[in-house]
Structure 1
């Protein structure tokens, strides 16, 4: 920002104000000394700023935050000390959140495309013009087939509003972004123990195994879990061992970093299980009581997974596997954490199950310091609710991936191109696959530029991201500081409900998403005769939120939404203790978590009208509510049979191994000596595509050289800073090298979140371009203070699609590349992919689906499986 000019007059004026502030200083200092957060004062005026509690939404973990507002402008964000999960702390991304509101290139008015798609020519129109045009397109699509209306979202924290919108239209074509996020982790966990995530009790653990997760740096669970990891290390002398291809911040913090070949975490975990079972270090009572296999069955199955077998595949010495397995099994309590590392591979769901078996077989489940179930809370939806669409949608539930309950969204462009499903109107919400998906512009850019395949593209967005730049109509959504949303995230051992609420009025003519969707429905059904308007009968966002929160038991008595408006979160478990940084109850003692959730006993009222089958499963009104074990009626685990399924019989129906196993990635086995595996990762100030336009964060990190191992670089004659050419089977890029010991020698790694060609002047470094007429009225002077000239290189164009045939995940970490020193015609920043080559990769990955010709080859142990025809198979697939 520009420094103010100081004249004698302004000096006297500031001096007088400073004197007034100084006179008030004892009052201010006293207030700050006795209150841990929750108050802030203007440094010049001394006036108390308005403090409004919210839940952050820069990443997906929804940290508790407080927005400080002065003259209807957010001047600071900090952690909410009443929030049990994040306890008054906020990460760098959260602290920079006001940039989303005040981005100088933010879209504030509806825009209609007037040039060719992607040409950047727009006309500002009124909301009525925008809604009238859109309603006409929707009407025509509804007459043909509601499923030709598609909505794909990236981050959807609308609390059910997006699904309500599509159900109101009668369309089942709702697609998320989870297959490029963590779907194979979810599909590995859900049939095993119920939830799609774990909550490790790091603070009380003595030993932690971390497979491929960067807890201390990555967006997911970074703030709440990294606090507990630090506490476990400092307060509890916890040992942490990280298996990762790269020396991440978490690996660097660990007692041991064990580099593994990409995609082989599952093999290491199985070999550790082999050692535990071979040496009788398992918890036999837990296995026999709470799983669907016996110790004998488990020992027989695990015999094949020797440390020597895993060592050949992973590169981890057999003696290291033996030692760490023994340490983990004999140190109690112990826990484990994974995220994308093991899951984002061709058979990622197998890897996830193999890893989670370690705390299961050692009985470290739902114990203090152990591997705990997530604790979340729900809320009711407004009544009446729209029913399910009449027909299923192929794109939402592709028949070739029947177990992929979180969809396979990264294959959608190819399916549309193949004519699997027709689309008339495509909505995008908080999504940017043109940048964030494999193939990027080469795949999704080609799809959106083809008006025969996507006749009408509508973007609900405040920002001109790479996908929004290809839209026909842009409806300006509100960033998170200007909208209402319900929230709960299982990111600590204490469940909570929270809200986002507008901390200042919406800028320009932007409308929060639920209002925007309501207005679309009202335009389609102004008098309610079509039966749509009844589902959108609310005045504004706050009115909608009252339907969620004013009748939640416990919260209702505390004041419902009014309580949340004041505190941002419910319940309040206690006060943050400034000496310990932890939450204390009324007696001053640290609050204690509840463990053993699966061992809660059903009451006599719960048991009334139930039936118990021969396996002990207790059902009521046709639904399993618990399980009988050792003569007692327990709640059990949230699976269909209320126990942990080590053997997942549903998988066997489709020819997949129902037991924990490992499948080598075929093209990794066939790698030549001069080939490497390319992986990607995120820096702690970056997330997906949206942080490059945030000045404070971009100033910290704005370039992304490729990590390459010292010995590998020496062979290739590459030094740090050299230009290198990276070629995959679908394209090439040119970037700079960063030579380091901190990476597996057969791997190179490129951080994501860089190399934008849209997203405003800062992200693209086109600082001299004119501001859009639909943006803020004045330029931000901070844009004149950009001192860097490197925006980085985007890697996704050269990453081919891979789909885990079980969980549907993209194999982000499966890409084989050849790295050479750049040639005379190579320019820094080049990044090119080829549609035909990407299409060939799609055809290849479909061969591994359960209907594909390579499925049997990869599963010779399932020789008795009768094939696709043996499974009851419905068009539209799904579960």
Structure 2
């Protein structure tokens, strides 16, 4: 600690004054700099700036890291980056504290006690690699698919798939089913991409369903900039439907509270108003979709505002007014994220919402609902072949969830416990499901502690997270400022390529992930005789990256990787001006390209092509390359027929409604008066499980009281600061209440990212119990300044497993709970989850899969669809028909099955 007295004060101020005196021109110039340079405030020397792509979260902002005397001293936005335009959020500005975490692991560790006991010994890399190679050798000889790798964030640009395919394993699991898989599956069949990029900056009307764009949504930094441009500069109206008064709802022109999981019903009712009043864009629908306006009108008749109002609590007049405003204000756009999608039938909700810009023709227009713009790069050659056998838990091959193309990984503990899959070696990378997944320590923690279920477990991590603490072996990976990675994110209407590059050498014995994977393969196949080593013949991370970027057309001419090392991003579209926009040499803002689907095919592209006389699809060499419309040959959308598939026939094959529809959560239908629905959410200075140990962020927010409506608080006798017990059918937590008007009366909301029991001394507030640097990192004396004593409470142990039978998502926002004032035995921070009850919830969720007994009762209307390829055709025709005129039958199970559905839910 610096003792500040008169002597030290004069010394510091004298040095600073001298620096100003010797560099007055420099200081004056810095006043007008827009970024890209940084000056040592004491010595007045310019610090070394190295461009990177941020990876504190998954938004991938352009950043610059400043290094002085070999230490990272500051991070700021990259002014040359077209997407984030010189801006960096609080999380990004704090990124260096990943590198300098005093509890960071900097050398390999081998478990010496029981799993989770916290006893480790330091070993060498040679010892670690030989041990892993030995375990892998045994496993792949028996069954390559018994080698599992589950990742949370995989920004390796293909290295993880290359590693697993080199081993012959198809058992690669992502985290997407707890993130946004049902959103993706709701979007993909209709227009091809799994995400959208709304042009908020040029919109006149922005409709937001359940997304906290300004704080925690996907692409928070770039999209929040554009939302502010649209609302402030372009005078766009922003309307938010949400269960709580989020930061985005608070900045909206209107916040409309809704009952959870009913976004889709509101969107369908808005569609009903638009179509019944002929406010739709008929030409766009008839030209670019696979249905007609008349078909849409007939289908949407059932979804009246009165029907949606009963489900959502939103007044009929409000639904009708917002629908008319959206349809008549041009251009208009829409956004969703997890709010509508993280439910039992989240993919239906997403589909219903995206229909609004489709039916009003606001697609691929300036200020409208646009397709994502991304860029790719080649992989190093040769590449390993795909595995010979598909794995049960691979994202594309789950037998009960065939449409869940992004996986259902949150079901893994139950599949392993049931014997559906067998694991011999388990790898984890940037993942922490023991904390982040439903059930948390009660399910994933139990699985990892059981050596019969997971015989050998390797964590590639620089931090002792809740999952890593249960490993057999820890291989210290590097934080993002010490590794190489390729990057491209469709977070702007201008496509870009970027890199992460080491701004300092890896600390201690840390190795970046692609080097760890290479070294494992080289240990397994040192002389190449097993045919593995040839896929990993690169000298280091930079060499690997040259294979990606030195042969990208146009980038190659600009210098390839060397250009990216200098700028961090390519292409450079223009220069950041004083208003925060990227402009050309004349000072005009760089405009995006719109109407991507209307790009015409050239004569050369049409040579040898075949045009389908009915759908207009243009195929060449067996692949669709475009669609013919009004006598012209267009690229179209990236769907199989190159049109927007409003009717998704692939869903009907498995007994799901191919048209936009809504299904009410069965256990929400008849909730008791003392029951509420739990929702969780993210805040702008934290993300998932990985920021509670970042000291700047932890000081800003370190606790997470449960939001509750004032009327609800009065009913149960609770005021702000009181302890409450929140109990579901699988567990409970005891936490503090925050009582106010900004939340739906039937909802209780608890933010995530708090209540750690591992992840270092700061995250779990054990900084006073022992010194840091236990695993080779330098201690941080600043932890002596921690003034707070509340680490918050983690709610995931009481959230049961729920799977959207279409998109595979976890139903994060479906949990019914009872909230009571805490009893005399309840203590703040109590968390309880029951494995047996979680297993029951998993089995109940399976009943809604297309193979389950409740699937047909939830889709009685499908008796009329059938079709030669319908898996459930025979069973569907045996079910009682439900005509289209009765949407209430879609909102709840058919009569006779209601009791079964309620029993399954509770």
Q: Structure 1 11/843 Cα, relative in aligned 2: closer, same or farther at 3 Å?
A: closer
CA contact (8 A) 2:104 2:777 kept: no
Shift of 1:7: 7.4
Counterpart mapping for 1:733-744 below 5 A: 733-744=733-744
- Number of residue equivalences: 870
In structure 2, the residue matched to 1:717 is: 717
Q: Structure 1 216/12 Cα, relative in aligned 2: closer, same or farther at 3 Å?
A: closer
In structure 2, the residue matched to 1:533 is: 533
Instruction: Tell me how far apart the structure 1 counterparts of residues 13 and 444 of structure 2 sit (CA, whole Å).
Output: 58
In structure 2, the residue matched to 1:483 is: 483
In structure 2, the residue matched to 1:613 is: 612
Give the match's secondary structure for 1:657. coil
Give the match's secondary structure for 2:761. helix
Instruction: Tell me how far apart the structure 2 counterparts of residues 626 and 745 of structure 1 sit (CA, whole Å).
Output: 50
CA contact (8 A) 2:459 2:471 kept: yes
Instruction: Tell me how far apart the structure 1 counterparts of residues 228 and 11 of structure 2 sit (CA, whole Å).
Output: 47
Counterpart mapping for 1:208-357 below 5 A: 208-357=206-355
CA contact (8 A) 1:734 1:827 kept: yes
Counterpart mapping for 1:21-60 below 5 A: 21-60=19-58
Instruction: Tell me how far apart the structure 2 counterparts of residues 853 and 867 of structure 1 sit (CA, whole Å).
Output: 20
Instruction: Tell me how far apart the structure 2 counterparts of residues 24 and 808 of structure 1 sit (CA, whole Å).
Output: 63
Instruction: Tell me how far apart the structure 1 counterparts of residues 237 and 870 of structure 2 sit (CA, whole Å).
Output: 48
Where structure 1 has 5 or more consecutive residues not aligned to the other structure, the ranges are 874-879
In structure 2, the residue matched to 1:678 is: 678
In structure 1, the residue matched to 2:704 is: 704
Instruction: Tell me how far apart the structure 2 counterparts of residues 342 and 279 of structure 1 sit (CA, whole Å).
Output: 26
The RMSD of aligned alpha carbons is 1.4
CA contact (8 A) 2:100 2:777 kept: no
Instruction: Tell me how far apart the structure 2 counterparts of residues 33 and 599 of structure 1 sit (CA, whole Å).
Output: 46
CA contact (8 A) 1:219 1:684 kept: no
In structure 2, the residue matched to 1:727 is: 727
In structure 2, the residue matched to 1:115 is: 113
Shift of 1:757: 0.3
Instruction: Tell me how far apart the structure 2 counterparts of residues 837 and 869 of structure 1 sit (CA, whole Å).
Output: 37
CA contact (8 A) 1:214 1:248 kept: yes
Give the match's secondary structure for 1:463. coil
Give the match's secondary structure for 1:371. coil
Shift of 1:398: 1.3
Give the match's secondary structure for 2:762. helix
Instruction: Tell me how far apart the structure 1 counterparts of residues 22 and 231 of structure 2 sit (CA, whole Å).
Output: 42
In structure 1, the residue matched to 2:885 is: none
Instruction: Tell me how far apart the structure 1 counterparts of residues 84 and 361 of structure 2 sit (CA, whole Å).
Output: 28
Give the match's secondary structure for 1:65. strand
CA contact (8 A) 2:653 2:869 kept: no
Shift of 1:220: 1.8
CA contact (8 A) 1:111 1:124 kept: yes
Shift of 1:777: 4.6
Instruction: Tell me how far apart the structure 2 counterparts of residues 444 and 111 of structure 1 sit (CA, whole Å).
Output: 22
Counterpart mapping for 1:641-652 below 5 A: 641-652=641-652
In structure 1, the residue matched to 2:510 is: 510
Give the match's secondary structure for 1:782. helix
CA contact (8 A) 1:427 1:459 kept: yes
Q: State the Cα deviation string for residues 281-338 of structure 1 (Å, max 9, x = none).
A: 0000000000000000000000000000000000000110000000000000000000
Q: State the Cα deviation string for residues 563-597 of structure 1 (Å, max 9, x = none).
A: 0000000000000001x111110111111111000
CA contact (8 A) 1:109 1:774 kept: no
In structure 1, the residue matched to 2:595 is: 596
Shift of 1:866: 6.0
CA contact (8 A) 1:850 1:868 kept: no
Instruction: Tell me how far apart the structure 2 counterparts of residues 865 and 181 of structure 1 sit (CA, whole Å).
Output: 32
Give the match's secondary structure for 1:763. coil
Instruction: Tell me how far apart the structure 1 counterparts of residues 370 and 478 of structure 2 sit (CA, whole Å).
Output: 36
Instruction: Tell me how far apart the structure 2 counterparts of residues 626 and 563 of structure 1 sit (CA, whole Å).
Output: 35
Instruction: Tell me how far apart the structure 2 counterparts of residues 142 and 867 of structure 1 sit (CA, whole Å).
Output: 42
CA contact (8 A) 1:727 1:733 kept: yes
Give the match's secondary structure for 1:744. coil
Q: Structure 1 846/869 Cα, relative in aligned 2: closer, same or farther at 3 Å?
A: farther
In structure 2, the residue matched to 1:790 is: 790
Shift of 1:384: 0.4
In structure 1, the residue matched to 2:692 is: 692
Q: State the Cα deviation string for residues 5-56 of structure 1 (Å, max 9, x = none).
A: 5575x66764663344122332322431443111111111111100000010
Give the match's secondary structure for 1:542. helix
CA contact (8 A) 1:108 1:774 kept: no
CA contact (8 A) 2:106 2:777 kept: no
Counterpart mapping for 1:831-850 below 5 A: 831-850=831-850
Shift of 1:612: 1.3
Shift of 1:604: 1.3
Instruction: Tell me how far apart the structure 2 counterparts of residues 820 and 34 of structure 1 sit (CA, whole Å).
Output: 57
Worse overlay, 290-299 or 216-225: 216-225
Instruction: Tell me how far apart the structure 1 counterparts of residues 50 and 872 of structure 2 sit (CA, whole Å).
Output: 53
CA contact (8 A) 1:59 1:220 kept: no
